[in-house]
Amino acid sequence: MPIVTVRGLTREYQQGAVTVKALNGVDLEIEEGEFTALMGPSGSGKTTLLNQIGALDEPTSGTVVIDGKDLTTLSSAQLSDLRLQRLGFIFQSYNLIPVLSAFENAEFVLMLRGTDAAERRRRVMETLADVGLTGMEHRRPSELSGGQQQRVAVARAIAGRPALILADEPTANLDSTTGHELIALMKGLNEQHKVTFVFATHDPKVMEAARRVVELEDGKIARDTRK
Protein backbone atom coordinates (compact mmCIF):
# COMPACT_ATOMS: atom_id res chain seq x y z
CA MET A 1 0.00 0.00 0.00
CA PRO A 2 1.37 3.46 -0.89
CA ILE A 3 2.17 5.84 1.95
CA VAL A 4 0.41 8.69 0.17
CA THR A 5 -2.42 8.54 -2.31
CA VAL A 6 -3.55 11.75 -3.98
CA ARG A 7 -6.77 11.67 -6.00
CA GLY A 8 -8.29 14.42 -8.14
CA LEU A 9 -6.66 17.10 -6.05
CA THR A 10 -7.36 20.74 -6.80
CA ARG A 11 -6.44 23.84 -4.88
CA GLU A 12 -7.71 27.22 -5.97
CA TYR A 13 -6.69 30.62 -4.68
CA GLN A 14 -8.90 33.63 -4.99
CA GLN A 15 -6.85 36.65 -5.99
CA GLY A 16 -9.34 39.51 -6.21
CA ALA A 17 -11.67 38.60 -9.08
CA VAL A 18 -9.24 36.00 -10.49
CA THR A 19 -9.26 32.36 -9.45
CA VAL A 20 -5.76 30.82 -9.59
CA LYS A 21 -5.76 27.06 -9.99
CA ALA A 22 -2.52 26.20 -8.21
CA LEU A 23 -3.38 22.49 -8.45
CA ASN A 24 -5.69 21.38 -11.18
CA GLY A 25 -6.51 17.68 -10.77
CA VAL A 26 -3.47 15.85 -9.44
CA ASP A 27 -3.32 12.05 -9.03
CA LEU A 28 -0.22 10.64 -7.39
CA GLU A 29 0.97 7.72 -5.29
CA ILE A 30 4.12 7.68 -3.20
CA GLU A 31 5.48 4.27 -2.26
CA GLU A 32 7.59 3.45 0.73
CA GLY A 33 11.30 3.91 0.16
CA GLU A 34 10.95 6.16 -2.87
CA PHE A 35 13.22 9.10 -3.55
CA THR A 36 11.06 11.43 -5.60
CA ALA A 37 11.89 14.79 -7.14
CA LEU A 38 9.00 17.16 -7.77
CA MET A 39 10.09 19.30 -10.69
CA GLY A 40 8.58 22.21 -12.50
CA PRO A 41 9.03 25.88 -13.11
CA SER A 42 8.33 28.43 -10.48
CA GLY A 43 4.60 28.76 -9.93
CA SER A 44 3.80 25.28 -11.25
CA GLY A 45 2.33 24.19 -7.90
CA LYS A 46 5.17 22.29 -6.18
CA THR A 47 4.83 24.05 -2.83
CA THR A 48 1.07 23.84 -2.98
CA LEU A 49 1.22 20.09 -3.57
CA LEU A 50 3.79 19.53 -0.79
CA ASN A 51 1.59 21.52 1.61
CA GLN A 52 -1.35 19.30 0.69
CA ILE A 53 0.60 16.09 1.21
CA GLY A 54 2.06 17.55 4.40
CA ALA A 55 -1.40 18.11 5.95
CA LEU A 56 -0.69 21.84 6.15
CA ASP A 57 -3.47 23.06 3.87
CA GLU A 58 -6.95 21.94 2.83
CA PRO A 59 -7.78 21.13 -0.81
CA THR A 60 -10.53 22.78 -2.80
CA SER A 61 -11.54 19.32 -3.99
CA GLY A 62 -10.09 15.82 -4.14
CA THR A 63 -8.42 13.81 -1.41
CA VAL A 64 -5.07 13.09 0.17
CA VAL A 65 -4.87 9.76 1.96
CA ILE A 66 -1.98 9.04 4.32
CA ASP A 67 -1.72 5.75 6.22
CA GLY A 68 -5.20 4.97 4.88
CA LYS A 69 -6.61 8.13 6.46
CA ASP A 70 -8.38 10.74 4.35
CA LEU A 71 -6.98 14.06 5.59
CA THR A 72 -10.22 15.93 4.96
CA THR A 73 -11.86 13.86 7.69
CA LEU A 74 -9.30 14.80 10.37
CA SER A 75 -9.51 17.63 12.87
CA SER A 76 -6.71 20.18 13.04
CA ALA A 77 -5.41 18.53 16.23
CA GLN A 78 -5.36 15.15 14.46
CA LEU A 79 -3.56 16.70 11.47
CA SER A 80 -1.03 18.22 13.84
CA ASP A 81 -0.51 14.82 15.41
CA LEU A 82 -0.16 13.14 12.04
CA ARG A 83 2.55 15.64 11.07
CA LEU A 84 4.32 15.08 14.35
CA GLN A 85 4.22 11.28 14.27
CA ARG A 86 4.41 10.40 10.57
CA LEU A 87 5.93 13.28 8.59
CA GLY A 88 9.20 15.18 8.46
CA PHE A 89 9.67 18.63 6.95
CA ILE A 90 12.59 20.47 5.45
CA PHE A 91 11.91 23.96 4.16
CA GLN A 92 13.81 26.24 1.87
CA SER A 93 15.33 28.35 4.65
CA TYR A 94 14.91 29.54 8.26
CA ASN A 95 14.11 25.99 9.25
CA LEU A 96 15.69 26.15 12.65
CA ILE A 97 14.85 27.75 15.96
CA PRO A 98 17.61 30.33 16.43
CA VAL A 99 17.77 30.09 20.24
CA LEU A 100 18.27 26.34 20.21
CA SER A 101 21.55 24.54 19.53
CA ALA A 102 21.99 22.08 16.67
CA PHE A 103 21.35 19.28 19.15
CA GLU A 104 18.22 20.89 20.55
CA ASN A 105 16.86 21.66 17.10
CA ALA A 106 17.42 18.09 16.00
CA GLU A 107 15.77 16.95 19.23
CA PHE A 108 12.70 19.15 18.84
CA VAL A 109 10.36 16.66 17.17
CA LEU A 110 11.29 13.90 19.64
CA MET A 111 10.68 16.33 22.48
CA LEU A 112 7.23 17.19 21.15
CA ARG A 113 6.52 13.47 20.92
CA GLY A 114 7.48 13.06 24.56
CA THR A 115 10.35 10.64 23.90
CA ASP A 116 12.38 10.18 27.07
CA ALA A 117 15.62 12.12 27.45
CA ALA A 118 18.07 9.23 27.22
CA GLU A 119 16.46 7.83 24.09
CA ARG A 120 16.32 11.34 22.61
CA ARG A 121 20.00 11.83 23.24
CA ARG A 122 20.94 8.50 21.68
CA ARG A 123 18.87 9.06 18.54
CA VAL A 124 19.94 12.67 18.05
CA MET A 125 23.66 11.93 18.45
CA GLU A 126 23.35 9.07 16.00
CA THR A 127 21.41 11.21 13.53
CA LEU A 128 23.81 14.15 13.78
CA ALA A 129 26.60 11.69 12.99
CA ASP A 130 24.60 10.47 9.96
CA VAL A 131 24.39 14.00 8.59
CA GLY A 132 28.05 14.68 9.33
CA LEU A 133 27.67 17.18 12.15
CA THR A 134 29.43 15.34 14.96
CA GLY A 135 31.17 17.89 17.16
CA MET A 136 28.82 20.70 16.23
CA GLU A 137 26.01 19.75 18.60
CA HIS A 138 26.30 22.87 20.72
CA ARG A 139 26.42 25.40 17.93
CA ARG A 140 23.53 27.75 17.41
CA PRO A 141 22.16 28.07 13.84
CA SER A 142 23.89 31.45 13.50
CA GLU A 143 27.21 29.68 14.07
CA LEU A 144 26.60 27.21 11.25
CA SER A 145 26.90 27.63 7.48
CA GLY A 146 23.79 27.46 5.31
CA GLY A 147 24.60 23.89 4.29
CA GLN A 148 25.17 22.85 7.90
CA GLN A 149 21.86 24.45 8.90
CA GLN A 150 20.05 22.41 6.26
CA ARG A 151 21.80 19.29 7.57
CA VAL A 152 20.43 20.04 11.01
CA ALA A 153 16.99 20.37 9.41
CA VAL A 154 17.51 16.98 7.76
CA ALA A 155 18.62 15.54 11.10
CA ARG A 156 15.50 16.92 12.82
CA ALA A 157 13.33 15.40 10.09
CA ILE A 158 14.89 11.92 10.15
CA ALA A 159 15.53 11.69 13.92
CA GLY A 160 11.85 10.84 14.40
CA ARG A 161 11.97 8.09 11.69
CA PRO A 162 8.88 9.44 9.90
CA ALA A 163 7.08 7.53 7.16
CA LEU A 164 7.73 10.38 4.74
CA ILE A 165 9.93 13.44 4.54
CA LEU A 166 8.80 16.44 2.52
CA ALA A 167 11.46 18.89 1.45
CA ASP A 168 10.50 22.10 -0.34
CA GLU A 169 13.49 23.32 -2.38
CA PRO A 170 15.93 22.48 0.41
CA THR A 171 18.91 23.46 -1.77
CA ALA A 172 17.53 26.73 -3.15
CA ASN A 173 19.56 28.90 -0.79
CA LEU A 174 22.76 26.90 -1.11
CA ASP A 175 25.51 27.13 -3.68
CA SER A 176 25.41 24.26 -6.16
CA THR A 177 28.20 22.20 -4.61
CA THR A 178 26.66 22.39 -1.13
CA GLY A 179 23.26 21.77 -2.68
CA HIS A 180 24.44 18.61 -4.38
CA GLU A 181 26.08 17.42 -1.20
CA LEU A 182 22.78 17.82 0.62
CA ILE A 183 20.93 15.88 -2.06
CA ALA A 184 23.60 13.19 -1.93
CA LEU A 185 23.17 13.05 1.84
CA MET A 186 19.43 12.63 1.55
CA LYS A 187 19.86 9.97 -1.10
CA GLY A 188 22.33 8.14 1.12
CA LEU A 189 19.85 8.22 4.00
CA ASN A 190 17.17 6.98 1.66
CA GLU A 191 19.26 4.01 0.65
CA GLN A 192 20.69 3.31 4.07
CA HIS A 193 17.59 3.73 6.26
CA LYS A 194 14.82 3.37 3.63
CA VAL A 195 13.55 6.85 4.47
CA THR A 196 11.00 8.03 1.92
CA PHE A 197 11.70 11.48 0.47
CA VAL A 198 9.70 13.80 -1.73
CA PHE A 199 11.50 16.97 -2.58
CA ALA A 200 10.63 19.91 -4.75
CA THR A 201 13.32 21.46 -6.89
CA HIS A 202 13.64 23.37 -10.11
CA ASP A 203 17.32 22.61 -10.48
CA PRO A 204 17.58 20.17 -13.44
CA LYS A 205 20.92 18.86 -12.15
CA VAL A 206 19.30 17.68 -8.94
CA MET A 207 16.98 15.58 -11.01
CA GLU A 208 19.84 13.25 -11.89
CA ALA A 209 19.99 12.00 -8.33
CA ALA A 210 16.30 11.15 -8.14
CA ARG A 211 14.96 7.72 -8.93
CA ARG A 212 11.57 9.13 -9.74
CA VAL A 213 10.84 12.53 -11.25
CA VAL A 214 7.35 13.98 -11.18
CA GLU A 215 7.06 17.03 -13.39
CA LEU A 216 4.39 19.64 -12.73
CA GLU A 217 3.09 22.15 -15.20
CA ASP A 218 0.31 24.60 -14.39
CA GLY A 219 -0.91 22.57 -11.49
CA LYS A 220 -1.01 19.27 -13.35
CA ILE A 221 1.37 16.34 -13.58
CA ALA A 222 2.94 16.53 -17.02
CA ARG A 223 5.33 13.57 -16.67
CA ASP A 224 6.06 10.91 -14.08
CA THR A 225 9.36 9.11 -14.80
CA ARG A 226 10.92 6.24 -12.87
CA LYS A 227 14.51 5.31 -13.53
Partner 1 sequence: MKILMLAARNLFRNTRRTLITLMAITFGLAMIHFTINLQTGQYHEMITKGISTLAGHVVVSAAGYRDDPDPDRVLTGADAVAEALATALPDAIIAPRIFLGGLLNSPTSSVGVALTGLDPEAEAKVQDIVDKIREGRWLDDDVHGIVIGEKMAESLSVGLGDKLVYMGQHGDATEMTSQLFRVRGIFRTGSAELDGFAAFSNLEAARSLFGAGDIAHMVTVHLPEASGTAAALELARTALADTPGIEILSWRQALPEITAMIQLDRASGDVVLIILGIIVSMGVLNTVLMSALERTREFGVMMAIGMKPLQLARVILLEGMVLGILGSLLGIGAGLLLTWPAIAWGIDYSEYLGGESVDSGGVVVSTIFFARINPLRMGIYTLGAVVFTTLAALYPAIHVARLRPVDAMKHV
CA nearest 9: which of 51, 67, 41?
Answer: 51
Contacting residue, 8, 13, 176, 224, with ligand ADP by CB under 6 A: 13
Provide the minimum distance between the beta carbon of 197 and partner 1 in the complex, in angstroms, as a whole number: 16
Restricting to residues 41-80, name those near ligand ADP by CB under 6 A: 42-48
**φ, ψ at 19 (rounded to 5°):** -100, 120
Q: Does the protein bind Mg ion through residue 47 (CB under 5 A)? A: yes
Provide the minimum distance between the beta carbon of 155 and ligand ADP in the complex, in angstroms, as a whole number: 24
**φ, ψ at 162 (rounded to 5°):** -75, 165
Q: Does the protein bind Mg ion through residue 105 (CB under 5 A)? A: no
Q: Could you give the CA distance from residue 144 to residue 102 in angstroms, rounded to a whole number? A: 9
Q: Could you give the CA distance from residue 139 to residue 215 in angstroms, rounded to a whole number? A: 38
Q: Name which of ligand ADP, Mg ion, partner 1, none residue 125 binds, using a CB cut-off of 5 to 8 Å depending on partner kind.
A: none
Whether 96 and 141 have beta carbons less than 8 Å apart is answered as yes
Distances (CA, A) of 163 to 2, 34, 152, 158, 159: 11, 11, 19, 9, 12
Provide the minimum distance between the beta carbon of 143 and Mg ion in the complex, in angstroms, as a whole number: 28
Provide the minimum distance between the beta carbon of 42 and partner 1 in the complex, in angstroms, as a whole number: 15
To 10 degrees, what angle do helices 76-86 and 102-113 make?
130
Q: Could you give the CA distance from residue 87 to residue 33 in angstroms, rounded to a whole number? A: 14
Binding segment (CB under 5 A) for Mg ion, from list 42-50, 64-72, 80-88, 118-126? 42-50
Provide the minimum distance between the beta carbon of 223 and partner 1 in the complex, in angstroms, as a whole number: 27
| Residues within the interface to ligand ADP (CB under 6 A) | 13, 15, 20, 22, 40, 42-48
| Residues within the interface to partner 1 (CB under 8 A) | 51, 54, 56-57, 77, 80-81, 83-85, 88-89, 91, 94-95, 97-100, 108-109, 111-113, 156-157
